[in-house]
A and B are shown apart, each in its own frame.
Chain A
Amino acid sequence: MTGETLAGTAPAEILSVDGVSVSLSGRQILDEVSFGVGAGEFTGLIGPNGAGKTTLLRVILGLQRPTAGQVAVLGRPRSLRHQPVGYVPQKVLLDPDMPMRARDLVALGLDGNRYGLRLPSRQRGQAVSEMLHAVDAERFAGARVGNLSGGEQQRVLIAQALISRPRLLLLDEPLANLDLRSGQEIIGLLARIAREQQIAVLLSAHEMNPLLPVMDRIVYLAGGRAASGTTAEVVTSEVLSRLYGYHVEVLHVHGRVLVVAGAAGHEPALAPGAAAEGG
């Protein structure tokens, strides 16, 4: 069984992924992945490295054509022409030498796809300031982006993605290079923005524990297959064993979730590819 959806009804659906399969040079990366994300929902796209998280995000962005299946944003087939999607990629190398302030980068999120010179506009400046305020980045609005810390840069990139008022925000491993505290702050910020602005947030991570307090729904990817629903529905030994294709145990230890391989009664060993869980 693949692409199962265990959840009930979602509020006003922003993103719907329907039976998406991708194979690249003969290798099956995604296998009939289906799920939906509703307005104001915070969804974690969780899975071990190599599970296909980045490929799935690229399909949703319209950068990767699926072999089968469809992606719809606000009920319309995905295309790059109209842009209701904000995106924070995994790796953005902001050089300290780059002559760009935090607020300049946010402004590029507003009109970086337009041609010709930019005329001065008070309206734009105000929109940028409001956005910087929304992500609590006013303190360093005038600083060079390259000199900011990882967490501060992540806030600026989120502001950049949100300023064009998308209904869907995609973030590819935004916690990967952050220390624990900055990571917690970013998660809190995203959860608040999702709720307040009724934006659908889809965030990929290989570690689910930091997201447990805020995730409305989880999409768990393993071996190219996905299960979605609430954490309680998806993160069970039964569902994840089916995804991984071998028996895994889900253990709850001090409020954290550990996914380990091995049959009950045996010494639990970390599941290959799931090693990052619960770390």
Chain B
Amino acid sequence: MHQVYTAIFEPGFFASAQVHVAVTIGTAVAVVCAVTGVFTVMRGQSFAGHALGDVAAAGGSGALLAGLSPVTGFVGLDVVGAAVMDLIGVQRVRSRDLATGVVLGAAIGLSALFLYLTSVTGATTGAVQQVLFGSIFTTTSSTIPDAIILGGIAVVALAVVCRPLLLSTVSPDIAVARGVPVRLVSVLYMLALAVSVGLSSLATGAILSTALLIGPAAAALRLTKRVAWAMGVACLIGVLAVLLGVLLAYDSYYWGSSHDGLPVSFFIVSVVFITYLASGLPALRAGRRSERPAEQAAAAEHDKVAA
């Protein structure tokens, strides 16, 4: 029994201060991303989330260059990026991809510049690796309050506008007719998205930051039929992915003989991905029973219209 236990939890896991910081920040980030991500997936704005990940990469590398804390760079530039995307017109379906693409391109360009300058000024490749692919084990505990306060603000903002946001997600026309300030609500949501992606960059790195945003929410949407439940399930999946990811990455120090740990981000993203694939199974099974009649009904309706 003890052997099984030590095989799962390698020595020092629970005592490690790095693990404590990683678990605290990872859990906070997973919760914030789950709540935001459900709206992101429902609104079909995964691409915007991804672009903000690239903006975070530019922010993180800029912060590295300027000697600021990574969270300042990630969240700071993401908020600017979200504002620019909104100005270009991310709220209109037709210019959505355009706004996202323009900002994404600019962000990658900035990253290229900052990372080049960083390498010239002699920072280690490890620092660059951390910005892009995650640094949750090297994050200092002083980041915890920042992460929790910023994440808290995003979640509270979403809680305040949740009903108008939901209504304008379902139908902007109905929302406008009901007197909802659709534009303002959309801006608030974009800012919450920016903060979520920025924080997520802390856990999984800027490049992988949408993994915790999109994956758990997308899986949850398949598994539940109520928004609040979807958020709960997404939180569970996200937190589970972070905890498993941290544990596996910690354990990986003891795998093989080289005593090099594998990246946490890899494990987190893998768990999220596998969960997403598994979330399709119930629908697949139900589909065998129900999909065919639905298709026939749709075909029959089509025939009627044609006739």
Contacts and interface: CB of A to CB of B under 8 A. Distances in A.
A92 B163 contact: no
B163 A113 contact: yes
Interface string A91-117: 110110111110011001101111111
Nearest to B227: A99
A61 B163 contact: no
**Chain A facing B: main interface SS:** loop
A200 interface: no
Interface in B26-74: 38, 41-42
Contact of A111 (B163, B171, B229, B294): B163
A104 B229 CA distance: 12
A92 B179 contact: no
B222 interface: yes
B173 A89 contact: yes
A267 interface: no
Interface string B133-161: 00000000000000000000000000111
A222 to B, nearest CB: 25
A107 B173 CA distance: 17
A61 B164 contact: no
B183 interface: no
B262 interface: no
A179 interface: yes
Given A83-B179, A89-B173, A92-B174, A99 B159 contact: no
A165 to B, nearest CB: 13
Contact of B163 (A95, A118, A160, A180): A118
Counting contact residues on chain B (CB < 8 A from A), the size range is 35 or more
A61 B174 CA distance: 10
Interface size class on chain A is 35 or more
A63 B170 CA distance: 18
Interface stretch (B80-88, B121-129, B191-199, B297-305): B297-305
Nearest to B162: A117
Contact of B171 (A92, A114, A117): A92
Contacts of B41: 97
Contacts of B161: 115
B25 to A, nearest CB: 26
B176 interface: yes
Among A61, A81, A115, the one with the most B-chain Cβ atoms within 10 Å of its Cβ is A115
Interface string A61-97: 1010000000000000000110101011101101101
Interface string B208-240: 000000000000111011110110000000000
B15 interface: no
B93 to A, nearest CB: 10
Contacts of A108: 163, 166-167, 170
B92 interface: no
A104 B162 CA distance: 13
Interface centre among B167, B177, B226, B229 (most CB of A within 10 A): B177
Interface string B172-189: 011111111000000000
Contacts of A81: 179
B225 A101 contact: yes
Given A87-B177, A104-B227, A149-B297, A98 B163 contact: no
A99 B170 contact: no
A97 B222 contact: yes
Contact of A99 (B175, B176, B180, B224): B224
Given A112-B167, A113-B163, A115-B164, A144 B225 contact: yes
Interface of A: 61, 63, 80-81, 83, 85, 87-89, 91-92, 94-95, 97-101, 104-105, 108-109, 111-118, 143-144, 147, 149-150, 160-161, 179-181
24 contacts: A63-B177, A81-B179, A92-B174, A94-B170, A95-B42, A98-B170, A99-B42, A99-B225, A99-B229, A100-B170, A105-B170, A108-B170, A112-B174, A112-B175, A113-B179, A115-B163, A116-B159, A116-B163, A147-B294, A149-B301, A160-B174, A161-B174, A180-B304, A181-B304
